[in-house]
Amino acid sequence: MRILNVCDERQAELARRRAQISWRIAAQRAQLERGLQQLRRPLHIVDKSIQVGAGLREHAGAVTIVLLPVLFLARRLLRRGVGLAMNLTSRAGRWWALWKFGRRAFLSLRNARRGG
């Protein structure tokens, strides 16, 4: 009779553990589903972008024929935008060169003082 009680207790413990594991799995699945719901829209956008890119590659000649007149008509606007970008780039380049030169000069003066 004692053996049956031990087996029954062991089976009850295993059933309780099985239920706990099932609940944990259900909670993890629900959490994973919430995470996938949050990613669903960005993944859809990526899929659509890939499809559009493939379509553009497939019809590159037609896209070029359509865009050339549009770009020609919008050249004045494009020149202003490109000119502004080039101006900012050249200014940033000058300031960066000035910074590098000043830093090197400062380091060489500091090293000269240490050595002398």
Same domain, residue pair 15 and 44: yes
Q: Count structural domains, the chain.
A: 2
Q: Rounded distance, CA 59 to CA 52, Å?
A: 11
Q: Are 78 and 71 in contact (CB under 8 A)?
A: yes
Q: 91 phi and psi, to 5 degrees?
A: -65, -45
Query: pTM here?
Result: 0.38
Is the same domain home to 95 and 46?
Answer: no
Supply the pLDDT for residue 93. 84
Do 62 and 78 belong to one domain? no
Domain co-membership, 49 together with 83: no
Averaged over successive runs of 10 residues, the pLDDT of the chain (116 residues) comes to 69 94 96 91 90 86 81 74 77 85 87 76
Q: Are residues 60 and 79 both part of a single domain?
A: no
The residue among 45, 66, 87 that closes a domain is 66
Q: So what's the pLDDT on residue 2?
A: 56
User: Which pLDDT score is estimated for 72?
Assistant: 79
Same domain as 56, residue 78: no
The dihedral formed by the CA atoms of 53, 59, 65 and 68, expressed in degrees to the nearest 10: 10
Structure tokens that stand for 15 in this block: 């059933």
Give the domain extent around 38. 1-66
Sign of the Cα torsion 57, 58, 64, 70 reads negative
Residues 39 and 56 grouped into a single domain: yes
